């Protein structure tokens, strides 16, 4: 997946920490992905960040990892949006399983 090309027409909001997010089964870092005038609710679970990037389960460590790996995280979020793969929570949610699938 060419991550630069994939995200070239997208903008992303600043991330926010959401402890114990509804219907997600985990805390997550939430962000908005925007293309033209359309906005999508996206997120990556704390477990996915810990599993993929070897960070601690502390919110500060998860947010630090998000900031370092944001281009890769955003590329996977855009891929989920393009495939219409929305989680039951309403987020385009990157779980540990999806992170492994997309080689995050």
Please report the beta strands in the chain, taking only residues with DSSP state E, as ranges in sequence order. 11-12, 16-18, 28-35, 38-45, 92-94
What per-residue confidence (pLDDT) applies to 6? 55
Residues 6+ apart with CB under 8 A from 30: 15, 16, 17, 18, 21, 41, 42, 43, 91
What per-residue confidence (pLDDT) applies to 2? 43
DSSP 8-state code for residue 89: T
CA–CA gap between residue 51 and residue 65 (Å, rounded) = 11
Pairing of strands 38-45, 28-35: antiparallel
What per-residue confidence (pLDDT) applies to 5? 41
**Does the pLDDT at position 1 exceed 50?**
no
How do residues 31-75 score in pLDDT, each as one tens digit? 999 998 899 999 999 989 999 888 766 788 889 999 999 999 999
> Would you say the pTM of this structure is higher than 0.85?
yes
Residue that has been written with the tokens 């947010």 in this structure: 63
**Does the pLDDT at position 101 exceed 60?**
yes
Instruction: Please report, to the nearest 10 degrees, the dihedral formed by the alpha carbons of residues 77, 80, 86, 91 taken in order.
Output: 0
Give me the domains of the chain, ranges plus CATH numbers.
3-101 (3.30.160.140)
How do residues 3-31 score in pLDDT, each as one tens digit? 444 577 899 999 999 887 777 778 899 99
What per-residue confidence (pLDDT) applies to 72? 94
């Amino acid at each position: 997946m060419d991550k630069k090309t994939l995200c070239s027409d997208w903008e992303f909001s600043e991330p926010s920490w959401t402890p114990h997010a509804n219907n997600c089964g985990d805390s997550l870092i939430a962000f908005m992905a925007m293309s033209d005038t359309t906005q999508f609710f996206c997120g990556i679970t704390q477990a996915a960040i810990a599993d993929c990037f070897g960070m601690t389960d502390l919110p500060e460590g998860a947010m630090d990892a998000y900031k370092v790996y944001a281009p890769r995280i955003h590329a996977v979020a855009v891929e989920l949006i393009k495939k219409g793969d929305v989680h039951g929570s309403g987020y385009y949610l990157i779980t540990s399983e999806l992170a492994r699938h997309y080689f995050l």
